[in-house]
Amino acid sequence: MMLSEWMSMVKEGLKYSYAPYSGVKVSALAITPEGRVYRGVNVENASLGLTVCAERVAIFNAVSNGERRIKTIVITSNLDKPIYPCGACLQVMSEFGVEEVIIVHGNEVIRHSLKELFPRPFSDWRS
């Protein structure tokens, strides 16, 4: 798949977002090294601490389908400015080997390495 296809897919996902409390709709794609694509959207809850971000939903979707490595995350939102992943999402991305985060804002594409966004992830203290 090409970047233009990912942009269309991630934007289409906004219609599936469940955001009745904040109104902030977020859609994400988790893309494996082999090019398989898994979508996720944010899912809010009246108990806001139970809300799950789109990036983690996409990764969990991939893991639920047998994946163990994610290469790229693509995200977009309905906000009037680019949206960036939260710390919890960055930590989960680190766990599954994400290398690149692509932020789509309208027709603008912003690319970051995960190391740039999250230089010092929590690591397994047992190793």
- Answer left, alpha or beta for residue 106, where phi above 0 means left and psi between -120 and 50 means alpha: left
Q: What percent of the chain lies above the pLDDT cut of 70?
A: 99
Residue 110: inside a domain: yes
Residue 97: inside a domain: yes
Domain that holds residue 94: 3-117
Q: Count up the domains in the chain and report the number.
A: 1
Residue 124: inside a domain: no
Burial of 91 (0-12, 13-18, 19+ CB in 10 A): middle
Residue 95: inside a domain: yes
User: What does the pLDDT look like over 62-117, one tens digit per residue?
Assistant: 999 999 999 999 999 999 999 999 999 999 999 999 999 999 999 999 999 999 99
Residue 77: inside a domain: yes
Residue 127: inside a domain: no
Q: Catalytic positions, please?
A: 55
Residue 26: inside a domain: yes
Average confidence score pLDDT of the chain: 97
pLDDT score at 123:
85
Residue 21: inside a domain: yes
CATH number at residue 27: 3.40.140.10
